[in-house]
Structure 1
């Protein structure tokens, strides 16, 4: 299990559109570092250590999976991405963005590339004032005093003025949603995406137990004979699994990702069952559906039929290799009808036909941003 660490960062800018510089940095930090928990007010201060335009300064609290040395490299790359040009001079100068690590949990780090706590933070009111706003009771690892006391002891006499300039905190996916269900046609990539997101966000993962269903290989050999026992067994298993797994959140994981939703049972049953069988099946389904927890977000991954067939062939399940195009289209039409008529779910459709989110990090981040900003 990946462990999240808490870090406090200082951001400053005195060039160009200073508020925009800060917001752009915040957005990229949220994308590349981790979830931003708190952002201080924007403070206006004079340039420190040189003559230049006034600075806008803030501090923020973030959680991250990055280790300290990785984190500093990510932050340096963000500065470069935002247009900062560094030189070899040791003198202070104007800059469009400056990002420093102030604290990293309660660790004390002395390495070639990083010193934590920041060696100058206790000497600078433009750092301590916004930091105390969001972390007043945090203990400085070396001084063994709260940051509030550290601020009171600070000898810096420079003026630090609070502004009313607004900044927006990006809301992380784990705050927006407790339970996400990801669905799609056979071979759409729902299980791959569920696994990746579970790893990304340290979420509890609920995967459909299709591999243990003894009727599945038989169904692909003789659909008419095995359709009803297959769909009934799937329904019972999905109901039991979702009931058990969603009854209470994991002690350490309050975010759940599932690669299916129980309505999938009805969609496949509509395609595979005869009329009389379906009517019986529907009665059972309706009883169970009332008891199932609804996801906060239902994601449908759309893949065109050609890509579905490629993915099915690539993953190599023997009993899937003779799936017909007409069957895949029928399943898609079932999902389409469900999406168009279901009024009680928060539904997001993502077309992944031209994406390879498993191998391409940019494609994966594109999907995450679709979810984050939905």
Structure 2
């Protein structure tokens, strides 16, 4: 049975998810799904005071990502049109567990499971990871003003949370291939050879999934 390709790219802040999603979209002619980030009215305040603004920030992201995926499912996946996304909605739980106090996290988790119960699941994951120094340098180069206030300790913990999440994801979804890319060694922005290698890995997995 052939599957409609649905690729999700994940990893910490500033690691290059959107850049890679754009390149894969152009190469494979897949629809590009980009998460809403800068439109979040609470994000700047969140980076300055995580405890005060975490619930508002996470709820905004959850509702918008839910709406995006609902639209993508109806307009593309159900009609046999391939999609590459620069996020996976389960990332919400990574951030919520880290930033929300216990009482608010309990409420958030219930809402999350209700909203995502019947959401489409990617059939391929690409996981970008790197050391803290590399992540900090890429955030600096990207130059988003609100991100310049992020504490290094928060980014370091987030990277560790992502690693735990992806290890758990592979256990829970053994049939979904995960392509791991080490950002300390691979720079697909500067080196075409690195990008070509990623494209080859994606192509190979698409063939194995009988997507092509």
Q: TM-score, with normalisation over the residues of structure 2?
A: 0.88
Report the CA distance between 1:348 and its aligned residue: 2.4
Larger-gyration structure (1/2) = 1
1:224 aligned to 51, 58, 68, which one?
A: 51
1:196 aligned to 14, 23, 38, which one?
A: 23
Distance 1:224 1:205, change over 3 A: same
- Asked whether the equivalents of residues 184 and 301 of structure 1 are also in contact (C-alpha less than 8 Å), the reply is yes
Counterpart residue number, 1:347: 178
Q: Which runs of 5+ in 1 are unaligned?
A: 1-174
The count of aligned residue pairs is: 200
Asked whether 1:363 is paired with 2:194, we answer: yes
Counterpart residue number, 1:322: 149
Counterpart residue number, 1:337: 164
Counterpart residue number, 1:70: none
2:108 aligned to 281, 286, 297, which one?
A: 281
Report the CA distance between 1:347 and its aligned residue: 2.3
Q: Deviations over 1:224-261 (max 9, x none)?
A: 11100000110011011111112232799822110001
Report the CA distance between 1:184 and its aligned residue: 0.8
Counterpart residue number, 2:208: none
Counterpart residue number, 1:181: 8
- Asked whether the equivalents of residues 126 and 180 of structure 2 are also in contact (C-alpha less than 8 Å), the reply is yes
Report the CA distance between 1:352 and its aligned residue: 2.3
**Secondary structure of the structure 2 residue equivalent to 1:205:** strand
Counterpart residue number, 1:306: 133
Q: Which runs of 5+ in 2 are unaligned?
A: 206-212
**Secondary structure of the structure 1 residue equivalent to 2:75:** coil
**CA distance in structure 2 between the partners assigned to 1:252 and 1:266 by the alignment:** 29
**CA distance in structure 2 between the partners assigned to 1:273 and 1:250 by the alignment:** 33
**CA distance in structure 2 between the partners assigned to 1:252 and 1:286 by the alignment:** 25
**CA distance in structure 1 between the partners assigned to 2:146 and 2:43 by the alignment:** 8
- Asked whether the equivalents of residues 204 and 250 of structure 1 are also in contact (C-alpha less than 8 Å), the reply is no
- Asked whether the equivalents of residues 307 and 353 of structure 1 are also in contact (C-alpha less than 8 Å), the reply is yes
**CA distance in structure 1 between the partners assigned to 2:118 and 2:79 by the alignment:** 25
- Asked whether the equivalents of residues 270 and 334 of structure 1 are also in contact (C-alpha less than 8 Å), the reply is no
- Asked whether the equivalents of residues 4 and 80 of structure 2 are also in contact (C-alpha less than 8 Å), the reply is no
**CA distance in structure 2 between the partners assigned to 1:176 and 1:361 by the alignment:** 29
Distance 1:317 1:354, change over 3 A: same
Over the residues paired in the alignment, what is the CA RMSD in angstroms? 1.9
**CA distance in structure 2 between the partners assigned to 1:356 and 1:235 by the alignment:** 30
**CA distance in structure 2 between the partners assigned to 1:261 and 1:328 by the alignment:** 18
**Secondary structure of the structure 2 residue equivalent to 1:341:** helix
Report the CA distance between 1:369 and its aligned residue: 2.0
**CA distance in structure 1 between the partners assigned to 2:11 and 2:112 by the alignment:** 20
- Asked whether the equivalents of residues 183 and 299 of structure 1 are also in contact (C-alpha less than 8 Å), the reply is yes
Report the CA distance between 1:186 and its aligned residue: 0.5
Report the CA distance between 1:266 and its aligned residue: 0.5
The structure richer in helix per residue is 2
Distance 1:294 1:243, change over 3 A: same
**Secondary structure of the structure 1 residue equivalent to 2:88:** coil
Distance 1:176 1:252, change over 3 A: closer
